[in-house]
Structures are given as structure tokens and as C-alpha cells.
Amino acid sequence: MSKDAVNKELFVRVSKRDSISQKKAWGIRFAGIALSLIVCALVIVAIVNENPIRVYMGIINGAIGAKRRFWVTIREALTLLIIAVGLTPAFKMKFWNIGAEGQILMGGTVTAAMMIYFGDVMPNWLLLIVIFIASSLAGLLWGLLPAVFKAYYNTNETLFTLMLNYVAMQIVTFCIVFWENPTGSNTVGIINGATAKGWFSKIFGLQYGLNIIVVLAVTLIVFLYMKHSKQGYEIAVVGESQNTARYAGINVKKVIIRTMMISGAVCGLAGSIIVSGASHTISTSTAGGRGFTAIIVAWMSKFNPLAMIGVSLFLVFMQQGSIQIASQYGLNTNASDIITGILIFFLIGSEFFISYKLDFRKKSKEVK
């Protein structure tokens, strides 16, 4: 190679890895987490001029330092988990469902309607069953719309599902006008605050016991469905190549529609867990951006529902801890968002280096 050719060669190239061991992949992830914690510490120290160890103790204290904080962390992690699990079948099929926010809102809105209109006419156990079914159906229908258009007209599912999020927000706003309480507040307020009708009951003395049971049951069912069922196999084949799926005799349109119905139903159920199992009210911020954060959880877990348990817990742990840090040192709410953003940046970066590697230019002898 001539001297000029060597000089023109790039110092570093990015190339796709052929394969990587699980041990090395997890090593890269842990390195990403460690780097994110270091950068977070540097940012926090630069802002508040505090000892980083005290800052991290503050994060731990904010996430699990008290019984109430511990259960808030568990509750939020469960909510994020079930949304990520709901997105998994669609994403595995390479159907980019960005509409989880809308599906959650529709499930939450129907849940609020059931609580308002049937709270006085049904026993709580029956009302909860009705809520689970109705919220799942609402999410299912909200997922069915883009699926049908994708299957028959090959529309862009990313834009379609994203636009439906805004439609769902308008529907919630419309409903708030009818359910406004007290009048003039422009909010629904706490629904059935006196009777707790439609609220999740305590299980084994745990306030969020039913949340745990429902979310973990759905997670296990989706894991088994994706891993060990014929329909799960069809989803994987369609995701790899629709032409291959057609050649194998798989009805691609049917798989797209069916999978999005399942994905939407689980996200709709997440809406009931937020409204009936936590907030007991409905607003346009009920989804709270969880639908987008759950995409990161699903991707980082490689669409493995069981792996999502750990990823969801870690993300929520850091979010709750960051909020505590912002409060403890008198920072505004943007500070916790910055810390969370740094964390997510490094986590996504670690996934990049699992799929790709850097090839540095080697010294080579000049060929005359």
C-alpha cells in the first residue's frame, strides 16, 4: 500500500459484528452503566458541588429509602414493564408501534368510565373484571386501526400510530368536560374517593399486590406466547422477512392484524393499571411518556419479557432517585430529566457497541 493510500485510510471505521458472546455483551452493558453513573456524578457535582458518594446515596434513598418510596418505585416499574411487554409482539414483527401512549390513554379512559358509571351498581371484584376486559378491548381497537391500514394499504405505521396518540389525547380532553369534578376545575378529580369502587384491592396486605400479580402474569404469558407458540414463531418469521413468511404459507396480513390487536390490548390494560391501580383519575398526562420510555426497555431487553423486569426496575430506580436528588439540592425538575437522559444515552450507546465495533487503522509497511 502506498504512503498516500495509508494516509487517506480512515483512522477508525465502524463495522457490524458478526456475533458476540452473551458474556461480552453484558460486559459492554455494565461498562455503559458504570460510565453513565460517572458522568451523572460529574454533572451533579458540577451543579451542586457535593461529594458524589453522598449524591449516589441520595439516589438510593430517593428510590428505596423509605417504605412509601420503595413501593412507588415498584409501582412505576410494573407500569413500565407491562407497557414494554405490550410493545414486544409488534416490535418483534418489525411493526413500529409508537402509539402505546394513545392505547394507554384509551384503556385509561374506558377504565375511568367504568368506575364512574358502574361504581354503584357492581361489587368491586366484578367491576375490576369488567375494567380489565373493557380497557383491553379499548387498547385492542386502538391498535387494530393502524394494523388494518398497514396490512391492506401498506401505510406508514410509525406516523399512523403517532398521530393516534394525539387523537386519544383529544378524546380524553372531551371526556374531562363531561366528568369534570368539581365543576370549573378542568379535571376529573379522584374517582370514587369515598367508596374506592373500581380501585385495586389490597392483596396479602400489599397495596400494590394486585398490580404485581396482573403485570407478572401478563409478562409470563407474553414470554411463553412469543417463545413457545406457533403464533409467536409466525411473528418472528414475519419480522425477519415477509416474503419468506409468504413462501412458508403464513398469512402475513392476518399475523399483522392479530399481533397489533394483542399489543394494543396489553397497552390498554396498562391504562387500567395506571387509573384503577394507582392514580384513580384520568387526564391527558396519564400515560406520562411511559409509552416512549417502554420502547427503550423493549429494545434493551432484546424483546425478552423476562429481561424487561430488570431493565424496568433499573430505569425507574434511577428516575425516582434523580427526582429525590433534584428535590434534595433544590434543583428544578429538569435536573432529574438530565440525569435520566444521560443514563439512557449510555444505555443506548452500549447497545450500539454490542451490534457494531470500531476498527482502528493499523500501522502497515509501505509497499513500493
Give the lowest-confidence range in 45-59, 86-100, 270-284, 304-318. 45-59
Res 368 pLDDT > 50: no
**107 by DSSP, 3-state: which?**
helix
Res 166 pLDDT > 70: yes
Query: Which tens digits make up the pLDDT trace of 306-361?
Result: 989 998 998 898 888 878 777 777 776 677 777 778 888 888 888 888 888 877 77
Q: What is the mean pLDDT of residues 241-265?
A: 94
Per-residue pLDDT, 6: 53
- H or E element at residue 15: strand 12-16
Domain contains 13: no
Query: Which tens digits make up the pLDDT trace of 79-97?
Result: 999 999 999 999 999 999 9
Per-residue pLDDT, 318: 82
Which CATH number characterizes residue 256's domain? 1.10.3470
Domain contains 366: no
Band of the pLDDT at 367, cuts 50, 70, 90? very low
**Structural domain count of the chain:** 1
Domain contains 325: yes
Q: Within a 10 A sphere around the Cβ of 163, how many other Cβ atoms?
A: 14
Per-residue pLDDT, 299: 85
What's the rounded Cα separation, in Å, for the pair 256 and 93?
Answer: 8
Q: Report H helices in the chain.
A: 3-8, 22-48, 52-64, 67-92, 100-118, 124-153, 157-179, 209-228, 230-240, 242-247, 252-274, 290-300, 305-328, 333-355
Band of the pLDDT at 7, cuts 50, 70, 90? low
Per-residue pLDDT, 2: 56
Instruction: Work out the percent of the chain whose per-residue pLDDT is above 70.
Output: 94
Res 123 pLDDT > 50: yes
> Which domain does 137 fall in, by range?
18-356
Band of the pLDDT at 363, cuts 50, 70, 90? low
Per-residue pLDDT, 283: 94
Res 194 pLDDT > 50: yes
Per-residue pLDDT, 22: 79
Domain contains 200: yes
Q: How far is the CA of 124 from the CAs of 131, 137, 274, 359, in angstroms? A: 10, 20, 17, 62
Domain contains 362: no
Q: How does DSSP classify residue 188?
A: -
Res 12 pLDDT > 80: no
Q: What is the mean pLDDT of residues 226-253?
A: 93
What's the rounded Cα separation, in Å, for the pair 119 and 298?
Answer: 35
Q: What is the pTM of this model?
A: 0.88
Band of the pLDDT at 4, cuts 50, 70, 90? low
Per-residue pLDDT, 354: 85
Greater confidence, 65 or 243? 243
